[in-house]
Structure 1
Amino acid sequence: MRIAIASDHAAVDLKAELREYLIELGHEVADLGPETADRVDYPDYGYKLASVVADGTAQFGVALCGSGIGISIAVNRDPACRCALVSEPLSAALAREHNDANVIAMGARLIGVDMAKACLDAFLSAEFGGGRHAGRVEKLSNPSF
């Protein structure tokens, strides 16, 4: 799979660990930055990640910041992205199965490397269930309010 990964300064170390893990699993990984722990703004990297997922350059995205909250909000500004903030494997799998999430977000200050890897495994191995969930997911990208 083609997977894009991005973070803010608080999650640079976790991003590096997960990038290498994904490569070891055989995925093609685009690291969208940043490269150092110098202060950056998470919306910039969330928007960059959303762009490559939305245009199909990457099939999935991994968004990381200190809490995972800010960068997930930024990614979700793009109607083509469904970014789920997760902290354990069940929510990661359900994000794919029920919500057809195409981006997973995690907080580097809240989750350890091993749990983050377990979340990635669950997310990437799950498939969208369709059925009763399909109409709901359609409404996420095409709201009628």
Structure 2
Amino acid sequence: MAGGVSRLITAEVVLEAHRTGRSLARDSSTRITDEARDLAARLGVAIGSPAPELPGETPVRGGDTRVQVVIGSDHGGYELKSALKIVLTKAGYTLKDVGCQGAAAVDYPDFAREVASCVARGDAARGVMIDTIGVASAMVCNRVAGCRAAACESMTSALSSRRHNDANILTLGASLHTVEQAAAMLLAWLGEAYEGGRHQRRVDKIMALDSRTRPR
């Protein structure tokens, strides 16, 4: 913003957005209070960015075959995944959908592994996997070397997984959230930066436990 003045999103701003039925855009200079984040999640007010960049990642540019977000689901998460794809596309993120492609019963490990493998290979900067609860898919993703998947049920846990754990995969439970709640969490998670510092040695210890070979 002009003059180096940053914009602050407070709980009052979120309430006004909820009253008028609009979402809130932000850029790199925007600051958001924790109270505003939590309220936005409860009210389903999306806080996104008109020109998204993933903190800590090299921006995806023309000619680059990588995508910013790989997304997958089982049958329990298919409808939510379809809705979130629209949200992410409108927000400007590049996507890869690894399935499933309908409501017929499938096995979540197949699609969670695809999401995790894309992230581990570097084909995508972040991953999102959706099943009915979210926990099962996180278990699968965390079996793939290089992945740090977080099953999150709240805005607080989603943001903490980025700030403190450098999570590169978010797993969501379709039965736990409305589309608006899930969209707000996902956009906030994608926009949140890893803090590093004292957290880095702990993340290093997590990764040191992983002696498996990365997917080829």
Higher helix share: 1
* Aligned residue in 2 for 1:7: 73
For residues 80 and 55 of structure 1, what CA distance do their matches in structure 2 show?
A: 9
For residues 170 and 134 of structure 2, the distance between their equivalents in structure 1, rounded to whole angstroms, comes to 9
Q: How does 1:1-145 map to 2 (within 5 A)?
A: 2-143=68-209
State the shift of 1:20 in Å: 0.9
Residue 79 of structure 1 and its aligned partner are, at CA, apart by 2.4
Whole-Å Cα distance in 2 between the matches of residues 100 and 56 of structure 1? 15
Point out where structure 1 has 5 or more consecutive residues left out of the alignment.
none
Which range moved further: 79-88 or 12-21? 79-88
Give the secondary structure class of the aligned counterpart of 2:144: coil
Question: Aligned partners of 1:137 and 1:79: how far apart in 2?
Answer: 13
TM-score (norm 2): 0.65
Residues 64-107 of structure 1 show CA distances to partners (whole Å, capped at 9, x for unaligned) of: 00110111110110120101111221211110000000000110
Percent of residue pairs identical = 38
Deviation readout 1:21-44 (Å, 9 max, x if unpaired): 101000001011011011110001
TM-score by length of 1: 0.96
User: Aligned equivalents of 1:78 and 1:139: distance in 2?
Assistant: 16
Query: Following the alignment from structure 1 to structure 2, what is the Cα–Cα distance between the partners of residues 19 and 10?
Result: 16
Q: What SS does the corresponding residue of 2:124 show, helix, strand or coil?
A: coil
d(CA) in 1 for partners of 2:130, 2:100 = 11
- Paired residue secondary structure (1:40): coil
CA distance in structure 2 between the aligned counterparts of 1:86 and 1:114, rounded to whole angstroms: 15
Give the deviation of 1:48 after TM superposition: 0.6
Tell me the amino acid that sits aligned with residue 132 of structure 1.
R
**Unaligned 5+ residue runs, structure 2?**
1-52, 54-67, 211-216
Runs of 4+ in structure 1 deviating by more than 3 angstroms, as ranges, are: none
Secondary structure of 1:123's match? helix
CA RMSD of aligned residues (A): 1.1
CA contact 1:88–1:118 (8 Å) conserved in 2: no
